[in-house]
Chains A and B, each alone.
Chain A
């Protein structure tokens, strides 16, 4: 199980990717009148998170398309660097928001 904050962050990222896709297809000529609903949902979701977490996420989003990535086989799936054992333990047990020491992306464990 993901912590509540991580769950919200992953949902926020999904919404951001969806909004970006919608803006791209709008350029092609598709009707995306409902885009405003997505933006509103995104704003509402962001308000449920602590400001420093959102600030960190926004900062990372400028660098990476996906700033929240899963960990698989103890490896960050953003930069493919192995996660130190200490962080793995904290990530798996404490359910806090943990960043990769290699790339800074926010990590989540789903296994």
Chain B
């Protein structure tokens, strides 16, 4: 996983984003401990449906279309069993991240050609006042670059365990 993380870590207000801040963009409704499908297309469908069910987005079809188009530009499978489909869409008013886990692995055409076990879908509105999208995306990549973090996420079966893995709160695990 190639991570070139620089000034995009800074939010517009000058604050530097912390890993624990990522928790603000997840929710129990956007957590899926077991992804059913093995194909990328079906996985994206399931993740888009998660956003619809949680009422975070207005229209699942345009989100799915955007995610599919993004994949055509290059796979968001960034290697080491991780995929981060992402994009801006008019269907959402704020940055949201959905998490899905697959034990069997998904054929995601990742850069290392290995199956994907951890899927994070990041959605952002077309325009934001505080420009959170890129810092969130960058912080997520940075966090997932650590083997111990990925292992913690692979073990997370509940949303609470997932949050504990993100925040590094060992008592909650």
Structural contact, B78 and A30, CB atoms closer than 8 A: yes
CB proximity of A80 to chain B, nearest CB, Å: 14
**What is the total number of residues of chain A having a CB less than 8 Å from a CB of chain B?**
17
**B interface, by DSSP: helix, strand, loop or mixed?**
loop
Which of B71-113 touch A at CB < 8 Å? 72-76, 78, 84, 86-88, 111
The answer to whether B8 and A27 have CB atoms under 8 Å apart is yes
Quick check: which of A2-10, A34-42, A52-60, A93-101 contacts chain B, the rest being far away? A34-42
A70 vs B6: C-alpha distance in the bound complex, in angstroms?
34
CB of B118 closer than 8 Å to a CB of A: no
CB pair A30–B8 under 8 Å, yes or no, is: no
Taking a contact as CB atoms closer than 8 A, the residue among B2, B72, B88 that contacts A34 in the complex is B72
Is B1's CB under 8 angstroms from A33's CB? no
Question: In this assembly, does B138 line the interface, its C-beta being within 8 Å of a C-beta of chain A?
Answer: yes
Complex alpha-carbon distance, A66 and B1, angstroms: 33
* B78 and A27 contacting across the interface, CB-CB below 8 Å: no
Interface residues of B (CB under 8 A from A): 1-6, 8, 72-76, 78, 84, 86-88, 111, 126-127, 134, 137-138, 141
A: residues with CB less than 8 A from B are 17, 21-22, 24-25, 27-35, 37-38, 66
